[in-house]
Amino acid sequence: MQKLTTSDLMTLETYARERPSFRSKIIAHKKTRTVPVGPNTTWLFEDRLTIHYQVQEMLRTERIFEPEGIAEELDAYNPLIPDGRNWKVTLLVEFADPTTRPQHLAQLKGIEDRCYVQVADFSRVYAIADEDLERENEEKTSSVHFLRFELSDAMVGALRSGARLVIGIDHANYTHANDALPEASRKALLADLD
């Protein structure tokens, strides 16, 4: 997938006008790219459009309009766009109760390294996690991680032929898998593998 450049971005003024419709488009787009794995994690499979939205939102929130600042945001977010043989995922670890959340996150240290995808009978592909910075500390894991899954040509070919896909986590304190992706989600993820 092609990386974003400054020419892809809207000015702050244009984005202010276009934001409601762009946001509606993104919400619909993310529905097919969002996969629950168990009761407390959600995987958002990123693509060029989801990252475009993230960059626009960062520029808006931080009021960034200088070329250097825009370049910094592009440098930070472009690595989250898949390159045709991988999936890039934002892993969200979600516990609604803020009083118990730290305890749950403490029990899930290392969860980001136990996330996997498995195509048919191929070996599991475990995530390459948090390449930009460490998101875990001595006490607990973070509630957000960035994951990359590298797929072989054979795996991609099998997926294109309808092979089963399992998305899962095999952490000692959190073992769940999702092998029932809706067809729209499967199509969206296959589109990342050009």
pLDDT tens track for 109-125: 999 999 999 999 999 99
Backbone angles phi, psi at 192, to 5 degrees: -75, -15
pLDDT tens track for 27-41: 999 999 999 999 999
Q: pLDDT band at residue 140, thresholds of 50, 70 and 90?
A: confident
Which domains, and CATH codes, for the chain? 1-31+48-80 (no CATH), 32-46+82-194 (2.60.40)
pLDDT for 131 equals 74
pLDDT at 156 > cutoff 70 = yes
pLDDT at 133 > cutoff 70 = no
Is the pTM of the predicted complex or chain greater than 0.85?
yes
Q: pLDDT band at residue 21, thresholds of 50, 70 and 90?
A: very high
pLDDT at 135 > cutoff 70 = no
Distance CA 84, CA 192 (A): 6
